[in-house]
Each structure stands twice: as structure tokens, then as C-alpha cells.
């Protein structure tokens, strides 16, 4: 719907064929992109990874809002019909500021759909959340879950090594399992353990199978990438904004943009997308020049 910052409405058919904008601080959001492509295969996507300024999790709220507005501005000016904030930190911190700046653009974050799905999956109300240090400290999942289900008992655990494992591509085997045991055993071997494990970091779906092995088959693992994709699919369907084109006629399915390190982006992207992408298909952009 938005072709420029001026919020000019364009023809409905044209608007439906605009890509979905996806923004993350780096490569983690590619798990969200993969889920979106699975649920909405006819859509085109514009993915922006702010790799020059990652990680967002350790930065102040003002800085995260400014960076998120700059990233959104780049995507909006290229033309997108909706925006997915595929970054937990930015979702928790900048969602309201983005909605204020772009009131006519549907914007969806990963925290709310993840919290919703976690609450629905849990029979006992005992929910464990694994995330980065910044997300846990910010408390976004804890607040979102408590708002939906005030009786929930939430254990939020910062697991920074899971991020490094995902980026290194060490997604299964004894090392990832030993690290998962060290992070999770105390909570999951308690007398009344959680029945649901919510992956509150976009990197973590990459190690999902290893986590399932460690917590056991009786624990439901909820992945905010999947639930965000389902939420966006419902939203676009209800608005009549789905693409009408199919297959090759719609052009390149995904355009990638990064703010630094194209080679690294392409290499690490392979673990997250489960397919290789050539480095020269990643466009390098200078986001600091974008309007904040």
C-alpha cells in the first residue's frame, strides 16, 4: 500500500503485488522469512539485515527505535505492502514507534504472535522462554504472556550461546546438546516442569530438533517464526491483500539487503534458509543515510 513515506495510496492490484518487507538486525530473521515463504509462497519479499549495527540486544531503547525507523524507511521507500519485524529486540522496543510513523502500513512483530502461541500450547500454564540476554532483560515475552494468561508461570532464560551455535552452523550433535542441557536442565528437571518451550529468538529454530531431544518429547516447542507467519497470513487474507500472481510470473521471490558483510551474510544465511544464496545477490546498503 505504501510506495513512499508520504503514505500515498496506490491501486489495489498494484498494492497486492508489492513485496512483504522483513527487517532484522542480522540473519536470525531469515528463520521468519523461511516460515513466511512456507505459509505465503506466492508473495515476494524484501529482506533487510542491519548487519553493520548488530546486535540490537545490547543497545539502548532510543538507539533501537532510531535504527528500526531507519531500516523501515529503506523498505518503505522501495515499496512494501506490510512490514514484519523479524527481530525480538526491535519488536519489543520499536513496534509502537513504527506504527506511529507508518499508520497505514500493517506492521507485525514476532513477540506478540509467539506469546499468543505459547499460551495456547500450554496446558499447565508453565511456560519456559529462551531468548537472548537483551530480550530476557527487557521482559517483553514475560509481559506479553502475563497479559494473555495472568496465571502463567514463566521461566525466562538467556541462552546467548545458542545464537553462536546457530551462526556457526553447529545445529545438532553432542556440543549443542551439552550446552542446551546446561541452560535448561535446572528448569526442566524441577518437580513441576514447563510443558511448553517458547523460542524467543529468531536464531533458535535452527537448533529446534536438538532442543526437543534435550527437553523431551512431552514438551511442546513453540517457534515465533511459525506463529508470526500464520498471523501475517491471516492478516493479509482478511484484508484481501494477498498476491494474485503465482510461480515465475511474480519475479524474484526474495531480494536481500545487508548493511555490511555480504559474504558472511550469504554464508550464514545458508544455515537459516537451508539453501545457499550467492553473495552477489545480497545488496549492500548504507542505512545511516536513510531518514530516521
- Is 201 a known active-site residue? yes
Catalytic entry in 82, 87, 119, 159: 87
Separation between Cα atoms, residue 168 and residue 108, nearest integer Å: 29
The closest of 64, 60, 112 to 84, measured between CA atoms, is 112
Separation between Cα atoms, residue 128 and residue 104, nearest integer Å: 35
Q: How far is the CB of 257 from its own copies (least distance, A)?
A: 16
DSSP per-residue letters across 159-180: -HHHHHHHHHT--SSHHHHHHH
The closest of 32, 30, 34, 73 to 51, measured between CA atoms, is 30
- Structural contact between residues 107 and 71, judged by C-beta atoms closer than 8 angstroms: no
Q: How far is the CB of 159 from its own copies (least distance, A)?
A: 9
Q: How far is the CB of 63 from its own copies (least distance, A)?
A: 7
- Residue 278 contacts by C-beta under 8 Å, 6 or more apart in sequence? 266
Q: How far is the CB of 90 from its own copies (least distance, A)?
A: 16
Output the CA–CA distances (angstroms, integers) from residue 15 to 28, 127, 240, 268, in the order listed: 28, 39, 11, 32
- Is 159 a known active-site residue? no
Separation between Cα atoms, residue 172 and residue 207, nearest integer Å: 7
Max CA pair span of the chain = 59
Binding site residues, its own copies, CB under 8 A: 51-54, 58-60, 63, 133, 160-161, 163-165, 167-168, 170, 174-175, 178-179, 182, 260-261, 264
Minimum CB distance to its own copies smaller for 54 or for 71: 54
Could you tell me how far CA 68 lies from the centroid of its own chain?
13
Q: How far is the CB of 32 from its own copies (least distance, A)?
A: 21
Minimum CB distance to its own copies smaller for 124 or for 186: 186
Minimum CB distance to its own copies smaller for 1 or for 282: 282
Minimum CB distance to its own copies smaller for 41 or for 173: 173
Catalytic entry in 82, 119, 159, 201: 201
Minimum CB distance to its own copies smaller for 9 or for 63: 63
Catalytic residues, by residue number, are: 87, 201
Amino acid at each position: 500500500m505504501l510506495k513512499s513515506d508520504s503514505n500515498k495510496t496506490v491501486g489495489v492490484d498494484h498494492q497486492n503485488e508489492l513485496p512483504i518487507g522483513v527487517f532484522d538486525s542480522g540473519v536470525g530473521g531469515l528463520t521468519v522469512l523461511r516460515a513466511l515463504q512456507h505459509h505465503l509462497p506466492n508473495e515476494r519479499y524484501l529482506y533487510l539485515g542491519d548487519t553493520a549495527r548488530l546486535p540490537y540486544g545490547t543497545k539502548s531503547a532510543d538507539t533501537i527505535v532510531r535504527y528500526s525507523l531507519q531500516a523501515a524507511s529503506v523498505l518503505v521507500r522501495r515499496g512494501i505492502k506490510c512490514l514484519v519485524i523479524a527481530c525480538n529486540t526491535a519488536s519489543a522496543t520499536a513496534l509502537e514507534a513504527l506504527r506511529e510513523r507508518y499508520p497505514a502500513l500493517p506492521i507485525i512483530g514476532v513477540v506478540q504472535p509467539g506469546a499468543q502461541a505459547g499460551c495456547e500450547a500450554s496446558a499447565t500454564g508453565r511456560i519456559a522462554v529462551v531468548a537472548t540476554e537483551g530480550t530476557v532483560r527487557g521482559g517483553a515475552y514475560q509481559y506479553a504472556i502475563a497479559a494473555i494468561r495472568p496465571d502463567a508461570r514463566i521461566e525466562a532464560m538467556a541462552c546467548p550461546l545458542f545464537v553462536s551455535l546457530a551462526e556457526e552452523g553447529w545445529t545438532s550433535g553432542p556440543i549443542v546438546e551439552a550446552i542446551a542441557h546446561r541452560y535448561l536442565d535446572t528448569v526442566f528437571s524441577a518437580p513441576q516442569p514447563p510443558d511448553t518451550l517458547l523460542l524467543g529468538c529468531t536464531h533458535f529454530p535452527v537448533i529446534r530438533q536438538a532442543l526437543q531431544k534435550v527437553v523431551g518429547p512431552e514438551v511442546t516447542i513453540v517457534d515465533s517464526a511459525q506463529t508470526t507467519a500464520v498471523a501475517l497470513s491471516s492478516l493479509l487474507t482478511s484484508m484481501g491483500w494477498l498476491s494474485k500472481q503465482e510461480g515465475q510470473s511474480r519475479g524474484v521471490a526474495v531480494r536481500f539487503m545487508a548493511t555490511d558483510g555480504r559474504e558472511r551474510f550469504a554464508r550464514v544465511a545458508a544455515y537459516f534458509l537451508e539453501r545457499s544464496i550467492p553473495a552477489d545477490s545480497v545488496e549492500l546498503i548504507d542505512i545511516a543515510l536513510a531518514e530516521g
